Structure 1
Amino acid sequence: MDADKLAKLKASMASSRIGGKGTPRRKVKRVVKGEGNDQKVQAALAKLNPQTITGIEQVNMFKDDNRVIHISRPAVQNAPDYNTFAIHGYATEKSVEEMLPEMIQSMGPESLEQLRKLTEQIQAAQGANAGANKEAEDSEVPNLVEGETFDREVD
């Protein structure tokens, strides 16, 4: 074999080798997709034999910190034998104040009563927090005493 050809072959092998000497060359770069988890979920759902529910325009899930997980145009599946719902779609997180106008239009009378109670609780909590903050501010400021100064000279 010619020395030049051997040097070119060695250079091409070194550029395509992943590890050190003696490791196999990689001919195709494999791209790992993140859909493996979704496929597992779909396979588990297929075992439950869910039924697709149509006519649902949006889904709102309320969290304890006054945030709402909002999914518009979701795909909803139900497996009544297993008491399971699966909701697929693009979710965004919004505050209750942002969602309020949209929610009022789709609520019934019972839901409106619950919403009214929720707003009263939120307002009461905000009022209590404001009162506590004002008291905390007042307790930090010392009372003025006549004849005394609070300025000290540092030696």
Structure 2
Amino acid sequence: MLRMNVEKLMKMAGAVRTGGKGSMRRKKKAVHKTATTDDKRLQSTLKRIGVNAIPAIEEVNIFKDDLVTQFVNPKVQASIAANTWVVSGSPQTKRPDNLENLKRLAEHLQKQAPGTGPAAKQDDDEDDVPELVPGETFEAAADENQAS
């Protein structure tokens, strides 16, 4: 079994050259990737989708299972056509004690918002299709219009 001599090992470590005359050059240049590259790529993709900034949003809460991710004063961007929402800011993950109360409050607020919820869908359906008079059909009404 070989035994290493600590003094000889320390002498060899001290003799290693990391730079200076006659030292070996690097074979590969180290590439430092910055976070701004990723951010620029994300912003260009969002521009292509056509997102618009939504101002004056004070708080965003995302409910998932029994956790709530909360953003305070976030930057919110949306593209309704692409069904894409971007929320950026510093998140805080919480496990609330009264999760059921928060869920009920979120559902209540969603029903109150104009143009959302089941009440808005019912109103749209009523405007699209006119009601028929009992006993009449579309064919009879069309024949009546052609005769006159």
Normalized against structure 2, the TM-score is what? 0.48
| Higher fraction of helix | 1
